[in-house]
Amino acid sequence: MAIGSTISDVLPLGSRLNELGRLEVGGCDTIELAREFGTPAYIVAEDDLRARARAFRQAGADAGRPDLQVLFASKAFPCTAVMALFAEEGLHCDVASAGELHLALAAGFEPERIVMHGNAKSVAELQMALRERVGLIVIDNFDEIERLRRLIEAGYGPLDAPGPGATLGQRPPEAPAGAAARPQEVLLRVTPDVRGQTHEKISTGQANSKFGFSVADVPEAVRRIERVQGLSLQGIHVHIGSQLTELAPFERAVAEVARLAPTIGECAIWDLGGGLGVRYLEAQPAPPPIEDYVRALLDAVRDPAQAGAGRLPLSEDGSAGGGATGAPPRRLMIEPGRSLTANGCVTLYTVESVKRNVSTWVAVDGGMSDNLRPMLYGARYEAHIADRPGGETECVLAGKHCESGDVIVAQALLDDPREGDIVLTPATGAYGYAMANNYNGVLRAPVVFCRDGDARLVVRRDTLDDLTARDVR
Ligand code: LLP
């Protein structure tokens, strides 16, 4: 990051250096925030999240599909306040467990705006999805079709009475005479064997993936779903991976969906998943902007043959439609997570100690309990001292956890770091809070929303009592 008034592009929109030379996020001085809320803390610039949500919706409208449904993939930042913000912005919501479904309902998403995912949905989770009447369940495998059939026959979901939500595992109420049976709409998750360049742990489009039906199994899956009274197959879902920074794999995935669509009856809905990458380091090339990504997807939907050009047919027996494409979908959905939240958040830490051996070790009060991404994926971040951004001293920004792998930034460039400094890492809004944990009994960090100079706590820090709250004595 350049010193002076130029601010790194990886910081939240509107970030700046104030008159005191301190970094400001959402109009709030980060040193003041550290004083008021303590560290570590996730600091979210509300306007940044809203701007990105609007950019996705506007991009759909600009590219001729104002009806594009943008779902927030809640796994990226599963916090009620973040989800409520996106509900307010008119987004829909992707959930992947009963817990995320619970959060989405608590955040105010109407059930019909919720899409339920998961490669291993439990019976209890399917019961909850049916009972809450979520808009769509995305079916991942043959066993799930069978589970849904048994649950519907047992009275869950479409055949039971409309009414207030039940809790996980609760028995369905008696259906009143004449209660209208509305089938549960479902999508089929397909693994199109399209790979994008990303870390193997977050690549999902390859044939040998734990997610979804292989292309060859689609016709049989369609037959089995159609035999279940109470289920209505509406279309296809694909999600080829996360942190993808090129558009071509997304376009190829759309071409594969178009090729499969004729095997799925009307195939009214195409859900094209998430995956757009973000920039974590100012030194990295910028990924495609939201507008380009949405336009590329919509162009591919309009002209799938062009999008898939040069690709070999997937299924040798031609069962996937053999290149024929049907009508365009009546409903189009996308599921961004990272690209909505990553850059809208920074994490604040306090430097606890600085020591020099072969390297200069700057140890802070958080680490792998608030950001597992460097340890899981080798993810790289920047770090800046809040009141002395920029700098020349190469340091290892280390966490406080009892293992050597707990390094947040392996090569941070800081300005003469000292004990007591406030350090921030940008772009921590996706999958940081989501994967937070209490390793070493470290208390999980709070979430603070900032807007126009006002800061409000939306998730408090864990307390020591929280650590024993689940003990059964
Ligand atoms: N839809 C589905 C079905 C997904 O599985 C995911 C992410 C998304 C949408 C959102 O993808 P995004 O737009 O955020 O790339 N913990 C990892 C990321 C795991 C992504 C899982 N699925 C990380 O920290 O990089």
pTM of the model: 0.92
**Which domains can be identified in the chain, with CATH numbers?**
16-45+342-468 (2.40.37.10), 117-336 (3.20.20.10)
| 337 alpha carbon – ligand 1 mean position (Å) | 6
Residue 275 Cβ inside 6 Å of ligand 1? The answer reads yes
CA 242 to ligand 1 center in whole angstroms: 5
Q: What is the pLDDT of residue 197?
A: 78
Handedness of CA 96, 100, 105, 108 (dihedral sign): negative
The pLDDT assigned to 173 comes to 53
For the Cβ of 329 lying below 6 angstroms from any atom of ligand 1, the answer is no
What is the distance in A from the centroid of ligand 1 to the CA of 434?
Answer: 11
Give the pLDDT confidence score for residue 1 in this predicted structure: 38
Cβ of 117 below 6 Å from ligand 1: yes
Q: Mind listing the pLDDT tens digit for each residue in 364-421?
A: 999 999 999 999 999 999 999 999 998 999 999 999 999 999 999 999 999 999 999 9
Residue with structure tokens 């307010």?
Answer: 88
pLDDT beneath 50: ranges in the chain: 1-5, 160-167, 169, 171, 175-180, 310-324
Rounded distance from Cα 189 to ligand 1 centre (Å): 15
Select from 49, 56, 71, 75 the residue to mutate for testing ligand 1; criterion: most ligand atoms less than 8 Å from CB.
75
